[in-house]
């Protein structure tokens, strides 16, 4: 009898473990999603702009999904110095304009925050490259260019056009909302990008 009880208990444990594995697999398996335009705003946080979430007191640190972490781990080695950047996954507050934010760059901290909730895995490289371009811009010029081109911040255009150049180089799709609104990447902005990529 005792032996049978042991068998029964062992069988129950086995079923629980197998069942748990199936449940885990279904929770962590991501359906392939085609790269469509995400409804996110890629933005950055020059630290003098107090409308942006503060590093790190305004950030609610969260664990990324497995595919978010993997996507970031794949792009980091391709970006000069990105291995020494502090990449923080967090729940990010909305931008001052009320739109969702995918990421912020913090040049003074050599850090980037990325949105766990609003950054789909397939767009992680695009946003990581955009935010890294902000850090690289700061490293190159010691400040963010304040110029405006076609109504858009040149700092943001450099980040968008830089991520586009890098995306073409490494085979990542890129989401470039600032550059799209400005009608593309001008020669002047691409000159900045080339200079920054040569410098860092």
Closest separation in Å from C-beta 43 to Zn ion:
5
Q: Which is nearer to Zn ion, 43 or 95 (CB)?
A: 43
Q: Per-residue contact track with Zn ion, 4 to 43, x per CB under 5 A?
A: ---------------------------------------x
Burial (CB < 10 A; 0-12, 13-18, 19+), residue 164, is buried
The residue with its CB nearest to Zn ion is 44
Closest separation in Å from C-beta 62 to Zn ion:
21
Task: Decide if residue 163 touches Zn ion (CB under 5 A).
Answer: no
Comparing C-alpha atoms, which of 45, 160, 60 is closest to residue 105? 45
Tokens 């996110």 sit on residue: 40
C-alpha to C-alpha distance for 74 and 68, rounded to whole angstroms: 10
The H-assigned helical ranges of 60-118 are 66-75
Task: Decide if residue 135 touches Zn ion (CB under 5 A).
Answer: no
Task: Judge whether 161 and 190 are in contact, CB under 8 Å.
Answer: yes
Copy the structure tokens of residue 50: 């107090």
Site residues for Zn ion, 39-58, by CB under 5 A, read: 43-44
Task: Decide if residue 159 touches Zn ion (CB under 5 A).
Answer: yes
Closest separation in Å from C-beta 15 to Zn ion:
50
Among 18-26, 46-54, 60-68, 150-158, the segment contacting Zn ion (CB under 5 A): 150-158
Instruction: Give strand pairing partners of 87.
Output: 112
Helix (H) or strand (E) holding 86: strand 86-91
Q: Which is nearer to Zn ion, 4 or 50 (CB)?
A: 50
Q: Which residues bind Zn ion (CB under 5 A)?
A: 43-44, 156, 159
């Amino acid at each position: 009898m005792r032996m049978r009880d042991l068998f029964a208990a062992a069988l129950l444990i086995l079923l629980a473990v197998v069942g748990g594995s199936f449940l885990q697999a279904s929770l962590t398996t991501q359906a392939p999603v085609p790269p469509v335009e995400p409804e996110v705003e890629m933005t950055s946080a020059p630290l003098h702009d107090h409308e942006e979430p503060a590093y790190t007191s305004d950030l609610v640190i969260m664990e990324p999904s497995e595919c978010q972490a993997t996507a970031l781990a794949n792009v980091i080695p391709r970006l000069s110095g990105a291995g020494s950047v502090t990449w923080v996954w967090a729940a990010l507050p909305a931008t001052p304009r009320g739109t969702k934010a995918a990421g912020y760059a913090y040049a003074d901290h050599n850090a980037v925050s990325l949105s766990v909730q609003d950054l789909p895995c397939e767009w992680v490289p695009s946003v990581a490259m955009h935010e890294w371009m902000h850090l690289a811009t700061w490293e190159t010029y010691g400040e963010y260019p304040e110029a405006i081109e076609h109504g858009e911040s040149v700092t943001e255009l450099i980040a968008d056009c830089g991520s586009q150049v890098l995306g073409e180089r490494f085979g990542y799709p890129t989401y470039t909302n600032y550059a799209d609104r400005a009608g593309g990447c001008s020669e002047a902005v691409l000159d900045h990008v080339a200079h920054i990529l040569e410098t860092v």
